[in-house]
Chain A
Amino acid sequence: MVLYTFNRGMDMDMHHGSVGIVNTRYFTFAEPPHELVLECGEKLGPVTLAYETYGQLDSQKANAILIMHALSGDAHAAGYHTEHDTRSGWWDIMIGPGKAFDTDRYFVICSNCLGGCRGSTGPSSLNPRTGTPYAMEFPLITIADMVRAQKELIDSLGIEKLLAVAGGSMGGMKVLEWAIEFPDRVRSAIPIATTSHLSPQGIAFNEVGRQAIMSDPHWNRGNYYGGTAPNRGLALARMIGHITYLSDESMHMKFGRRLQDRKGLSYDFLTDFQVESYLHYQGDVFTQRFDANSYLYITKAIDYFDLAEKGEGSLVKACARAKAAFLIIAFSSDWLYPPYQNKEIADALRVNNVEASFCILDSSYGHDAFLLEAEQQTHLVSHFLRHVYEEHVRGVHERGGGTT
């Protein structure tokens, strides 16, 4: 979801180094007959998660931070894959030496979600029973399933308690799921630009995106692997998505009504405006890195997420299970995951006397602000983490060792 031409903050002084060249690793579990039992009731196995790590895990395994990506993100959150790589990980402004998630101090993990197409098991993976890609045979997965799969990875790394879980948008949903479902496994939680349940408006946009894919003749009920992919549909879904990630103001600033490579209107259905060209470009590049079926499954998981279900319909009741310290960040111009939805989470937590900070950062970037606004986010996140970490270290000393 990174906008190539929005690079505010990338070259600021406060963002020191990069984590450098990184490798994606793979963790496979849930081999039959010990498959992962999903919320929908079906079983899935084996399951592979692609993940990357940055920094060093300390001897007590107490400095681990799990970063969660959004709809189109992946395990590659920071650094570069090769020396000639021009594009850094999706949250490189926040992860690295001296950055908000300071890799000189913390061990940062990011994994591609279950259902994804960037190395983790998803609809484009081979179904071991048939030897062909799952396609629509892949079971409907949920945010809770994604988090349970992630927990297996964290277990395998021997990390008993994460110092923090953090992420924006769908990543924020996973943060909430972690904090409520595994309260003893997370010391702090940083949900950003997110919600406890997607608004009907959000579901509507997701459905239009899915319909764009499914009405592409190449979609072929999901069986396009080995043939032509439904790239028109996927690009269209991405174009719609991108509109929802921006704001009226950011579009004015970025494009205005400027024309693209022409002096006057075409009086034809060609690309006239820069904003059109931008959306076409974003749609096209997306098809080179994303699987249409994954887009269907992941957007469905986002639509289904409703944290209040864990409290018999009450968000307050659901949040009673949380033990982590929270830092909740919203952005003023985000209309896809608006500030009031972030505030609902903060309210439900503070009713339960959970230590929760809540902040609405002033930004014109819309929902995408969490990927772009480095300065304020860095201030909030770095100080918050420092206090959580120092409190933990102090606690260890007072108890005379031990990390639990």
Chain B
Amino acid sequence: MSPEMTALRLRPDLMRIYKIIQPGSRVLDLGAGSGDLLKALERHKGATVRGVEISEEGIMECIAKGIPVYQSNLDEGLADYGAQSFDYVILSQTLQQVHKPKLILQEIVRVGKIGVVSIPNFGHWHIRFQLLLRGTMPKTTYIPYDWYETPNIHLLSISDFRELCRGLGIQILNEWPVSLKEGPLKFLMRRWPNLLAPLGIFEISRG
């Protein structure tokens, strides 16, 4: 772990998102959670930040950190925000939980000049092996739920995400395979992300 990462106490995937954001940007985080990422962006990158969060617990934590946060369900869309009114709109490991993934992706690139989306990759070899060898619904560090209580209703792979973006005319500007652990597979992960990366992070924009 780099000293910066340790200092910010961010998960590696959030750290990657943190590095993507340019200083002084306007940032909207959909699913702001406890507000750690936004707080780091505000404090260390001088960003103007806004959060959207569904849980009362998350709202309480964001307010305690001084992060402006709006309680809402993402499936209601972002109709209130003007086109291109944020430099970045972040959706971190939430796409697989919304009812209308297509709508939210279109909204992200409408409202944000750049969308930053991270997904747990269902094409990861660990998941493929669990289904192939054990014949059970996969459970991993990144998708830790039993099938009967998972909030994930639209699981997808990195390849699926690319294909959907293509279909929606959304441009993928950058793509990072990410793992929470530093491993010897890191080089290979970049070569075959859909098989070897447990998480995918994408920078997207209107085509």
CA distance A384 to B64 in the complex (A): 7
Evaluate contact between B64 and A357: CB separation under 8 angstroms: no
Q: How far does the Cβ of B203 sit from chain A's closest Cβ, in whole Å?
A: 23
Q: Which residue of B lies closest to A381 (CB)?
A: B63
The number of A-B residue pairs with CB atoms under 8 Å apart is 51
Chain A neighbourhood of B60, CB < 8 A: 376, 379-380
Could you tell me which residues of chain B, from 60 to 87, have a CB within 8 Å of some CB in chain A?
60, 62-64, 66, 68-72, 80-82, 85
Chain B neighbourhood of A387, CB < 8 A: 66
A383 within 8 A of B: yes
Evaluate contact between B80 and A350: CB separation under 8 angstroms: yes
Quick one: which of A353, A360, A380, A391 contacts B63, CB cutoff 8 A? A380
A265 within 8 A of B: no
Given the known A-B contacts A358-B71, A379-B60, are A350 and B81 also in contact in the complex, defined by CB atoms under 8 Å? yes
CA distance A357 to B58 in the complex (A): 12
A166 within 8 A of B: no
CA distance A346 to B81 in the complex (A): 12
Could you tell me which residues of chain B, from 39 to 69, have a CB within 8 Å of some CB in chain A?
50, 56, 59-60, 62-64, 66, 68-69
CA distance A356 to B72 in the complex (A): 13
Evaluate contact between B70 and A357: CB separation under 8 angstroms: yes
Chain A 325-362: CB-based contact to B (< 8 A → 1; otherwise 0): 10100000000000000010011001101011111111
Could you tell me which residues of chain B, from 9 to 60, have a CB within 8 Å of some CB in chain A?
50, 56, 59-60
Evaluate contact between A359 and B59: CB separation under 8 angstroms: yes
What count of chain A residues pass the 8 Å CB interface test?
Answer: 24
Interface of A is mostly: helix
CA distance A274 to B141 in the complex (A): 54
Q: How far does the Cβ of A356 sit from chain B's closest Cβ, in whole Å?
A: 6
Q: Which residue of A lies closest to B70 (CB)?
A: A358
Evaluate contact between B64 and A351: CB separation under 8 angstroms: no
Could you tell me which residues of chain A, from 355 to 400, have a CB within 8 Å of some CB in chain B?
355-362, 376, 379-380, 383-384, 386-387, 391
Chain A neighbourhood of B64, CB < 8 A: 379, 383
Evaluate contact between A359 and B56: CB separation under 8 angstroms: yes
Q: How far does the Cβ of B156 sit from chain A's closest Cβ, in whole Å?
A: 29
Quick one: which of A325, A360, A379, A383 contacts B71, CB cutoff 8 A? A360
Evaluate contact between B63 and A356: CB separation under 8 angstroms: no
Evaluate contact between A346 and B70: CB separation under 8 angstroms: yes
Chain B residues within 8 Å of A, Cβ to Cβ: 50, 56, 59-60, 62-64, 66, 68-72, 80-82, 85
Chosen A-B contacts, 10 in total, with CB atoms closer than 8 Å, are A350-B50, A350-B80, A355-B68, A357-B62, A359-B56, A359-B63, A379-B60, A380-B60, A383-B63, A383-B64
Known: A325-B68, A356-B68, A361-B56. 7 other contacts (CB 8 A): A355-B68, A356-B70, A359-B63, A359-B71, A376-B60, A379-B60, A383-B66
